[in-house]
């Protein structure tokens, strides 16, 4: 690989016949990164408007090599990962070529990803360069590793050749699950080019794989919808809002600001509002919808919980089938319950007046087997009206139930989980009661939507009532 006339090209690699090669064999360990002080120092040097000189690049490279975890194979990928934009990244690759240092496939991947951080708009020349790098990469590698695929997807979705990313997505699935960035890049490009079927397919698939849509995907859908003639904007907006409800996704404040700026001629009226603990909207004076977990869905969740969470290898590392049978016999004799209390969790969260071990020993003597999954199982077996008391967010158990029932679990959890906030010095106990209304965007009347907002949509927030909401009237 070399730079000639400012054009990046891959050096041809000669492979032995009948050998299957995987690109990215030089990828660094994802846990391998320089010390925080080193990172901050290098980032400060690279923040300058001017690209570093050859001598400065040499010193930056040595700063990382001085840490024993790094060597000549992985150092350059690390440096590229710290580059703030494409221009600085190209400067470093140029430095490597001038020094006669080998540039491996991990470096190519990092450079491709830096096209996402280009300081100005992607030009036709940039698109041609991305396509050239990618085609040369594929000529030499029939199959790419997941990291290289993800880097390539980030770059290819900036070009007209973006549908080649679908093949790369399938390559990633050979060894794992595509990351959020890959799904979002494809979904965003699909909406930008009018392929709404592909865009929604990517969003749905990523949610089913426990990946989170980001702002770019939703903004691209809103922009695409505004470009369409006729009265479809309201329908498209409601489709997006319903998707967030179906998949337990929160929209960010950035999306909220875009919604607030929608012109009224689109048939949408948006206002900032607050929601009381009783589920009342301060703007329209209406109420949020109550949580609804149907009897059938509750039964499915309860049955699946036993198989997916209790009867699995992890649980039987801590208990035995015989103990589980004894626990089930105990439940049959004592059901139903008004509330099931996670005694160990409460004991450890009750403060430091006593050693938590004392609490744990006391409770454990009575409820030896009652860790989180057993307590949840007890609450589920008791029926849909039983509450439970715990501070645990139960995310792992939700994940193990799968996409559809995981969402049902979260709604049931939201409706029935009480948690300890604190125990005051005078003995008063402060308890957080569940918020028994819809937490996600939903239609509460014929044309009225209430939409919660979070600071960052691509981060998993606590499953609780948000402080910021929009009240929307959609004609």
Residue 429 has a pLDDT of 81
Say which residue, 457 or 353, is predicted with more confidence: 457
Rounded (5°) CA angle 257-259-264: 125
Q: What is the pLDDT of residues 9-55, one digit of tens each?
A: 444 433 333 333 333 333 445 457 888 999 999 999 998 888 999 99
Q: What is the pLDDT of residues 274-292, one digit of tens each?
A: 999 899 999 999 999 998 8
Q: What is the mean pLDDT of residues 325-345?
A: 84
Please count the other Cβ atoms lying within 10 Å of the Cβ belonging to residue 96. Answer: 20
Q: What is the pLDDT of residues 126-137, one digit of tens each?
A: 999 999 999 999
Residue 313 has a pLDDT of 53
Q: Return the CATH class of domain 295-432.
A: alpha beta
Nearest to 438 by CA among 306, 248, 181, 261: 248
Q: Which two tokens stand for residue 436?
A: 């028994």
Q: Identify the H or E element spanning 317.
A: none
CA 130 vs. chain centroid, Å, equals 27
The 3-state DSSP class for residue 370 equals coil
pLDDT class of 184 with cuts at 50, 70, 90: very high
Say which residue, 87 or 410, is predicted with more confidence: 87
Residue 314 has a pLDDT of 55
Q: Which two tokens stand for residue 53?
A: 């000189």
- % of residues, the chain, pLDDT over 90: 55
Q: What is the mean pLDDT of the chain?
A: 84
2-11, 156-165, 224-233, 244-253: least confident range: 2-11
Length of the chain: 475
Cα torsion angle, 260, 264, 268, 272, sign:
positive
Cα distance between residue 439 and residue 414, in whole Å: 9
Cβ atoms of 224 and 195 within 8 Å: the answer is no
Order of strands, sheet of 417-423, starting from the edge strand that comes earlier in the sequence: 339-341, 387-389, 417-423, 429-432
Residue 326 has a pLDDT of 87
Q: What is the pLDDT of residues 351-404, one digit of tens each?
A: 545 555 555 554 444 444 446 688 888 999 999 999 988 877 777 777 788 888
Residue 355 has a pLDDT of 56
Residue 29 has a pLDDT of 53
SS3 per-residue string spanning 83-103: CCCHHHHHHHHHHHHHCCCCC
Cα distance between residue 383 and residue 235, in whole Å: 38
Residue 8 has a pLDDT of 44
- Per-residue CA distances from 29 to 25, 78, 130, 385 (Å): 11, 10, 25, 48
pLDDT class of 228 with cuts at 50, 70, 90: confident
Say which residue, 440 or 27, is predicted with more confidence: 440
Strands 251-252 and 448-454: parallel
DSSP string, 410-458: HHHHHHHEEEEEEE-TTS-EEEEPP--B--S-EE-SSSEEEEEEES-TT
Please count the other Cβ atoms lying within 10 Å of the Cβ belonging to residue 258. Answer: 17
Cα distance between residue 278 and residue 88, in whole Å: 53
Q: What is the mean pLDDT of residues 212-216?
A: 94
**What b/e sequence results for 102-119 when a residue is b if at least 16 CB atoms lie within 10 Å of its CB, and e otherwise?**
ebbbbbbbbbbbbbbeee
């Amino acid at each position: 690989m070399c730079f000639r006339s400012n054009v990046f090209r891959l050096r041809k690699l000669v492979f032995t016949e009948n050998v299957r090669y995987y690109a990215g064999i030089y990828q660094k360990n994802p846990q391998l990164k320089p010390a925080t002080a080193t990172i901050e120092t290098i980032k400060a040097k690279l923040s300058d408007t001017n690209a570093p000189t050859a001598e400065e690049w040499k010193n930056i490279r040595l700063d990382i090599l001085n840490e024993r975890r790094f060597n000549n194979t992985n150092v350059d990928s690390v440096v590229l990962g710290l580059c703030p934009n494409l221009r600085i990244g190209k400067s470093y690759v140029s430095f490597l070529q001038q020094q006669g240092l080998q540039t491996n496939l991990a470096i190519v991947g990092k450079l491709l990803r830096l096209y996402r951080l280009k300081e100005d708009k992607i030009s036709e020349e940039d698109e041609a360069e991305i396509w050239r790098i990618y085609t040369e990469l594929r000529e030499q590698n029939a199959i790419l590793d997941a990291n290289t695929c993800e880097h390539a997807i980030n770059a290819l979705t900036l070009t007209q050749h973006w549908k080649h990313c679908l093949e790369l997505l399938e390559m990633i699935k050979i060894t794992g699950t595509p990351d959020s960035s890959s799904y979002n890049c494809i979904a965003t490009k699909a909406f930008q080019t009018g392929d709404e079927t592909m865009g929604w397919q990517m969003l749905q698939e990523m949610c089913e794989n426990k990946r989170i849509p980001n702002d770019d995907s939703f903004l691209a859908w809103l922009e695409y919808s505004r470009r369409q003639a006729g009265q479809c904007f309201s329908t498209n907006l409601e489709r997006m809002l319903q998707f967030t409800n179906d998949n337990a996704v929160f929209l960010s404040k950035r999306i909220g600001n875009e919604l607030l700026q929608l012109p009224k001629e689109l048939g949408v009226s948006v206002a900032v509002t607050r929601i009381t603990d009783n589920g009342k909207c301060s703007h329209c004076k209406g109420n949020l919808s109550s949580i609804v977990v149907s009897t059938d869905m509750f039964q499915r969740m309860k049955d699946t919980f036993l198989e997916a969470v209790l009867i699995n290898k992890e649980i039987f590392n801590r208990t035995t089938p015989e103990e589980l049978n004894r626990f089930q016999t105990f439940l049959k004799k004592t059901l139903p319950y008004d509330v099931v209390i996670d005694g160990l969790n409460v004991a450890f969260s009750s403060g430091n007046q006593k050693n938590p071990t004392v609490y744990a020993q006391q409770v454990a003597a009575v409820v030896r087997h009652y860790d989180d999954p057993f307590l949840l199982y007890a609450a589920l077996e008791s029926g849909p009206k039983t509450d439970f008391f715990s501070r645990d967010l139960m995310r792992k158990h939700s994940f193990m139930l799968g996409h559809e029932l995981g969402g049902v679990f979260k709604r049931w959890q939201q409706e029935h989980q009480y948690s300890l906030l604190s125990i005051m010095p005078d003995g008063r106990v402060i308890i957080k009661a569940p918020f028994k209304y819809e937490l996600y965007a939903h239609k509460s009347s014929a044309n009225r939507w209430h939409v919660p907002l979070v600071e960052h949509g691509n981060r998993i927030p606590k499953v609780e009532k948000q402080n910021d909401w929009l009240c929307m009237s959609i004609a």
